[in-house]
Amino acid sequence: MDPESINIILVTHLHMDHVSDLLPFMKLRALSSRKLFRVFGPRGVNEMLDLLVSDRRLFGYLSDLGCRDLVEIHEVWDDVLELEPSIILRSKPVEHFNGVAYRIDLPSISITYSGDTAPDPRLIELARGTGILIHECSFPADRLKGKHTSAEDLMRIASEICPKILILTHIYPEMEERLQEYLESFREKLGVMVYAPRDFDVIEV
């Protein structure tokens, strides 16, 4: 994807694997088109970015490039926002370190992204009726660690939400080992399209 085509970034929470590309992206944009972009994220995302790009012991040199001026930050929690006419963004807090999940409703399709979360009824409520469910599937149940969702939990969650397409993300090595077996089981039990894409894969809908 051409980075210049990105105008909106949704941050689910402030863990490293979910925010570490933000600063390189800000720098890239500052050195190229200098087009403004919007970042939506949970409480604290504003303070985190301000600190990172202003403290000289961290990445304060990015302020010299005017990086911070290119970003419009919106902190969200339990919100409904109109991003553009007929594009609605909903956020809900979920069970994972001050994290939020997102749902985007477009005229033709809706997409829900769990971010990281333990099984959470608020996510199920947010996602009900969604066309595409992108949900973390970190571990098999017998190897589950931390505030995450196991494949077995996701089977139950997805069967309540009934998306047309289910996309598994946030796959830990323990899950990777058994991924094919789980994908087959998801497809068979849910009867929907199920994918576990790699970086840069494109899924046409």
98 binds Zn ion (CB under 5 A): no
Q: Which of these ranges, 13-21, 50-58, 60-68, 69-77, lies near Zn ion under the rule CB under 5 A?
A: 13-21
Single out the segment in contact with Zn ion by CB under 5 A; choices: 12-20, 50-58, 152-160, 178-186. Answer: 12-20
Q: Provide the token pair at 113.
A: 């992204």
* Long-range contacts (CB closer than 8 Å, 24 or more residues apart) made by 143-150: 143/172, 143/174, 143/175, 147/95, 147/96, 147/97, 147/116, 147/117, 147/118, 148/96, 148/116, 148/117, 148/118, 149/114, 149/117, 149/118, 149/119
- The smaller minimum CB distance to Zn ion, of residues 105 and 116, is found at 116
Q: Residue 80 to residues 64, 88, 179: CA-CA distances in angstroms?
A: 35, 7, 34
172 belongs to the binding site for Zn ion (CB under 5 A): no
The site that binds Zn ion (CB under 5 A) totals a number of residues, namely: 3
C-beta of 48 vs 162, nearer to Zn ion: 48
Measured from the CB atom, the residue of 116 and 120 that comes closer to Zn ion is: 116
Closest separation in Å from C-beta 125 to Zn ion: 21
116 scored as a contact of Zn ion (CB under 5 A): yes
Residues 128-167 interacting with Zn ion (rule: CB under 5 A): none
Among residue numbers 14 through 33, which ones bind Zn ion (CB under 5 A)? 15, 17
Minimum CB separation from Zn ion for residue 19, in Å?
10
Whichever of 116 and 153 has its CB closer to Zn ion, that residue is 116
Angle of the 151-161 helix axis to the 179-190 helix axis, nearest 10: 20
Supply φ then ψ for residue 124, to 5 degrees.
-65, -40
- Strand ranges (E), 106-186: 110-113, 132-136, 165-169
Least distance CB 65 / Zn ion (angstroms): 28
Q: How far is the CB of 147 from Zn ion (least distance, A)?
A: 7
Longest dimension (CA), the chain: 54
| Site residues, Zn ion (CB under 5 A) | 15, 17, 116
